[in-house]
Amino acid sequence: MRNKKQIIQHTEVFRSVIEKITTGVWVADKHDRIYFVNKGITKIAGIDKKSMVGLNVLKDFGEETLKYFRPIYLRAKKTLKKISYDSIPVLTPAGVQSYQSGWIIPLKKNGKFDGILCTVKDVTFQEQAKEKFALGKKELEIAVDNSKQLIYNYNITKGDIKWSGAIKEVTGYSKKDFEKMDIKKWSEYIHPMDRYNTLKGLDAAAKNITRYSEEYRFKHKNGSYVYIEDQGIFLKNKDGSIRMLGTMKDISERKRIEHDLIQSNKKYRELFELSGDGMLIVDANKHEVKEANIAAAGILGYTVSELKGMSCNNILDKNSKATCDLMSGENLFFQKKPLVTMEIKKKDGSKIFVEANSTIIVSEGEKIMIVALRDITQKKEVDRMKTEFISLVSHQLRTPLSAIRWAGEMLKDKELGSLNAEQLDILTDINTLNQKMIDLVNSLLNLSKIESGKITVEKKPVDIPVILQGIVSVFQEKILNKNLKIIISKQKGIKKVTTDPKLLSEIYFNLISNAIKYSNDGGSVTISILEKGNEIISSIKDEGIGIPADEEKKIFERFFRGVRVTRKDTEGIGLGLYITKLIVEALGGKVWLDGKAKKGSTFYFSIPKKIIE
Amino acid sequence: MKKVLIIEDDSFIQEMFAEKFAKYDAITLNARTSAKGEKIAKEEMPDMIILDLVLPDGDGLELLKRLKSNAETKHIKVIVITNMDSKEKMEEALSLGVEDYFIKTNESFMSVVKMIKTYLGLKDAK
């Protein structure tokens, strides 16, 4: 009796427990008919107890369900061993797709099959979570593993969080350290400045049961803050409890790059805005201005906002448009020499000349042209004035000088009768001084041409010794008068060089003329030609008056005249070496003075064996 | 008798040429502007024109172009004697078919005269 009473009591306890648990339980007899269901099952299945009792387990469940359920059920029945089932799809009578897991436990009586007890757990939310993340379990694991993410499973209703994954890699703490980590403690690790926003975002996502994604700084075990990207999803369980699944990922490196990028962008932005040159960023396909700086607006006469979105056709005339088309294409010329001069139209209709320097970049599939503009209208005007000046010097100053020259020659040739000795002396002086004046005008003219970039270099094969002989012969009279010795030495094997013969002659002429002019009677002038790598180095050495150390640096300056020079020769104007320097540089070389020469002076200049434009 | 037209605004230089060529039995015609020069060239058909490029009424090169593109005048020999020292102008003149191009200050008067004599085939008359 006592035993029976105890059994009854046990059964009651058992029953009440079964009734209270959320897990669903049903029991079928040996003919596979359900005769008992608990409350839990009605919640999961969404039907009442009555409708469920009497159902045949192998026939009355839905097709889809039976496909999975029947073999397991039959196996449990046959083997009399309990078997678990996982995520079987069940379409409830209410038409809701759910997934269920649980155990099929065979009941025995005298060692024989006497029915089945089945536990049912709704795992729909987990399945949904998987679907939403669109990752299979394995893929998820791989992804999580590789991305070094910390995983959390947070039951908001109960308040407990399970932490797993790369806890140590992300936070520096061990898994054990994290065991007691609840939401409050977690929030204390968040940087105070990020805490409010993070918690607010979390709260809002929890209320709407949506995805959650926040970035915040989290205090690492080593005391520094790491940038965390926290992404999670809220899921509502059938019982109304809310669960959150998510990951925390260390994105410090990405943040650092982002920060650097922002800083460098900012720097370039400022450079762009503050540049004295006009800057335009143009869509190279549509020819539409995307960005413009203040200087560009100033040059073009528009405001920055007027320029944005404007078609380039508004500011370009026909010719400039063609140039612009070429610039924006994959034209090799502009890649090599991106600087072009073109005429453009300002907002008020006036035309200006600009120098445009452009680069094409392809960024995210877009072809962009960056154009730097400089208003050179004034420079053009100055150039024009300079050209006019050259023309003036060239013609107006030389016209009377040539008339004097020719008249002087006529008198000297006794075309108008003979002159007495005194008259002839004066005439000779007039002619000499006039010639000096002509030379001076020619020098100035030469200088203007060189300085205004009008010096043109014509490449030809040049035989240096031939040039030297020609120049030395010009000075033959002076060489004889001063009893000078001219030595020309050339390193063996030097072949012809490719350069401009006229300009090279002018360099030699100026340096040799100086050497002769400033030599003392009976001295020698040595001209040497050496080859060094890709260069030809010439030196012109004299034993004359020399150059004081403090004048060395100034001698190549415009209008500079040395102290000793002015004492000896009062007529020069100090342009010879300056012009020489300009010409040497135009040929791609250098000219210098040997400062250590004890006696006289030695000038060197180099030119490339083959001039490159 | 050869006819030489001197288109030059400097009267002193004109006189020098006139005096010189008189000695070689050549007639000199003078024009101080390109307009007058063109008119005389067409009327007188000289054997040679001595042309300065800087003239009161414009660029001598323009006159040169007109003369060289006119069927009647294109055969006339032209020598440019100027102080316009510009490579571009010199090249343009030579490409238009002038016999020579002299920079006044850089040449002696006699060397210019000799050259003109050679082109005209003149001999000393007296």
Q: How far is A385 from chain B (nearest CA, A)?
A: 16
Of all residues in chain A, the one with the smallest CA distance to B83 is A395
Domain A280-366, CATH homologous superfamily name and number:
PAS domain (3.30.450.20)
N-to-C CA span, chain B: 14
Partners of A403 on chain B (C-beta within 8 Å) are 10, 12-13
Q: How far is A574 from chain B (nearest CA, A)?
A: 22
Residues A564, A548 contacting (CB under 8 angstroms): yes
Rounded Cα distance between A423 and A329, Å, is 73
- Residues, chain A: 613
pLDDT given at position A371 = 83
Q: How far is B126 from chain A (nearest CA, A)?
A: 14
> What confidence tier does A422 reach under pLDDT thresholds 50, 70, 90?
very high
pLDDT given at position A551 = 83
pLDDT given at position B23 = 85
As given in the structure block, the two tokens for residue A590 are: 């250098």
pLDDT given at position A129 = 67
Answer whether B109 touches A (CB < 8 Å): yes
- Residue A224 to residues A172, A219, A252, A254, A273, Cα–Cα distance (Å): 10, 6, 11, 16, 36
- Considering only CA atoms, which of A291, A271, A273 is closest in space to residue A283? A291
Same fold, A2-122 and A280-366: yes
Q: Do B105 and A441 touch (CB under 8 A)?
A: yes
> What confidence tier does A309 reach under pLDDT thresholds 50, 70, 90?
confident
> What confidence tier does A334 reach under pLDDT thresholds 50, 70, 90?
very low
In this predicted structure, the answer to whether residue B98 has a pLDDT above a threshold of 90 is yes
Rounded Cα distance between B50 and B77, Å, is 9
pLDDT given at position A222 = 92
- Residue B27 to residues B80, B109, B119, Cα–Cα distance (Å): 19, 18, 15
Of all residues in chain B, the one with the smallest CA distance to A406 is B109
Residues A120, A27 contacting (CB under 8 angstroms): no
B125 found inside a domain: no
Quick: pLDDT tens for A500-519. 888 899 899 999 998 998 88
Residues 6+ apart with CB under 8 A from B24: B117, B122, B123, B124, B125
Phi, psi (deg, nearest 5) at residue A498: -105, 105
Give the amino acid at A455.
Answer: I
- The three-state secondary structure class of A49 is helix
pLDDT given at position A219 = 93
Q: How far is A357 from chain B (nearest CA, A)?
A: 28
Q: Do A405 and B105 touch (CB under 8 A)?
A: yes
Q: Which of B13, B87, B105 sits opposite A398 (nearest CB)?
A: B105
What DSSP designation does B47 have? Answer: S
Rounded Cα distance between A200 and A197, Å, is 5
Rounded Cα distance between A577 and A595, Å, is 16
Residues A152, A246 contacting (CB under 8 angstroms): yes
Parse chain A into domains and list their residue ranges: 2-122, 127-256, 280-366, 380-451, 460-608
Tally of domains within chain B: 1
pLDDT given at position A332 = 46
The secondary element (H helix, E strand) that includes residue A100 is strand A97-109
User: What's the whole-number mean pLDDT along residues A302-315?
Assistant: 85
Q: Do A409 and B10 touch (CB under 8 A)?
A: no
Partners of A405 on chain B (C-beta within 8 Å) are 104-105, 108-109
Choose from B32, B54, B105, B124 for mutation: most chain A CBs within 10 A: B105
Instruction: For chain A, give the percent of residues with pLDDT over 90.
Output: 14
Q: How far is A451 from chain B (nearest CA, A)?
A: 15
Class of domain A2-122: alpha beta
As given in the structure block, the two tokens for residue B22 are: 């008189």
> What confidence tier does A132 reach under pLDDT thresholds 50, 70, 90?
low
- Considering only CA atoms, which of A309, A305, A312 is closest in space to residue A345? A312
pLDDT given at position A333 = 46
Give the amino acid at A109.
Answer: K
B100 found inside a domain: yes
Answer whether B10 touches A (CB < 8 Å): yes
Q: Which of A402, A410, A413 sits opposite B83 (nearest CB)?
A: A402
pLDDT given at position A1 = 47
Q: How far is A435 from chain B (nearest CA, A)?
A: 9
pLDDT given at position A456 = 73
Answer whether B124 touches A (CB < 8 Å): no
pLDDT given at position B50 = 94
Could you tell me which residue, A604 or A334, shows the higher pLDDT? Answer: A604
Q: Which of A394, A406, A442 sits opposite B84 (nearest CB)?
A: A394
Give me the half-sphere count of Cα atoms (radius 13 Å) on the Cβ side of residue A286.
11
Partners of A431 on chain B (C-beta within 8 Å) are none
B77 found inside a domain: yes
pLDDT given at position A444 = 78
- Considering only CA atoms, which of A114, A118, A87, A117 is closest in space to residue A101? A87
B73 found inside a domain: yes
Answer whether B54 touches A (CB < 8 Å): yes
In this predicted structure, the answer to whether residue B79 has a pLDDT above a threshold of 50 is yes
Q: How far is B124 from chain A (nearest CA, A)?
A: 14
- Residue A347 to residues A275, A306, A377, B27, Cα–Cα distance (Å): 21, 10, 16, 62
In this predicted structure, the answer to whether residue A89 has a pLDDT above a threshold of 90 is no
pLDDT given at position A526 = 93
Domain A127-256, CATH homologous superfamily name and number:
PAS domain (3.30.450.20)
Range from A205-214, A406-415, A526-535 carrying the lowest mean pLDDT: A205-214
Answer whether B110 touches A (CB < 8 Å): yes
Rounded Cα distance between A212 and A216, Å, is 13
Partners of B82 on chain A (C-beta within 8 Å) are 395
Size of interface A-B (CB pairs under 8 A): 51
User: What's the whole-number mean pLDDT along residues A420-438?
Assistant: 89
What DSSP designation does A190 have? Answer: B
Q: Do A456 and B87 touch (CB under 8 A)?
A: yes
Q: Do A406 and B84 touch (CB under 8 A)?
A: no
Q: Do A403 and B13 touch (CB under 8 A)?
A: yes
Q: Do B85 and A445 touch (CB under 8 A)?
A: yes
Q: How far is B91 from chain A (nearest CA, A)?
A: 13
- Considering only CA atoms, which of A155, A156, A172, A174 is closest in space to residue A164? A174
Looking up residue B24, the CATH number of its domain turns out to be: 3.40.50.2300
User: What's the whole-number mean pLDDT along residues A559-565?
Assistant: 75
In this predicted structure, the answer to whether residue A107 has a pLDDT above a threshold of 80 is yes
Answer whether B59 touches A (CB < 8 Å): no
Residues 6+ apart with CB under 8 A from A442: B105, B106
Quick: pLDDT tens for B16-37. 898 888 888 888 999 999 999 9
SS (H, E, C) A293-322: CHHHHHHHCCCHHHHCCCEHHHCECHHHHH
Mean pLDDT score of chain A: 82
Strand (E) positions, A331-418? 339-345, 351-363, 366-375
DSSP string, B86-114: -HHHHHHHHHTT-SEEEEGGGS-HHHHHH
Of all residues in chain A, the one with the smallest CA distance to B113 is A406
Partners of A391 on chain B (C-beta within 8 Å) are 84, 86
What is the domain range of residue B104?
2-120
The CATH number, out of the four listed (3.30.565.10, 3.40.50.2300, 1.10.150.110, 3.30.420.40), of the domain defined by the range A460-608: 3.30.565.10
Partners of B12 on chain A (C-beta within 8 Å) are 403, 407
Answer whether B95 touches A (CB < 8 Å): no
Give the amino acid at A326.
Answer: L
Q: Do B108 and A405 touch (CB under 8 A)?
A: yes
Answer whether B69 touches A (CB < 8 Å): no
Answer whether B11 touches A (CB < 8 Å): no
SS (H, E, C) A200-265: HHHHHHHHHCCEEEEEEEEECCCCCEEEEEEEEEEEECCCCCEEEEEEEEECHHHHHHHHHHHHHH
- Considering only CA atoms, which of A167, A134, A175 is closest in space to residue A250? A167
- Considering only CA atoms, which of A289, A272, A383, A376 is closest in space to residue A328? A289
Of all residues in chain A, the one with the smallest CA distance to B17 is A406
B126 found inside a domain: no
> What confidence tier does A539 reach under pLDDT thresholds 50, 70, 90?
very high
- Residue B123 to residues B21, B80, B114, Cα–Cα distance (Å): 10, 22, 10
Answer whether B35 touches A (CB < 8 Å): no
Rounded Cα distance between A442 and A321, Å, is 42
- The three-state secondary structure class of B49 is strand
Q: How far is A463 from chain B (nearest CA, A)?
A: 24
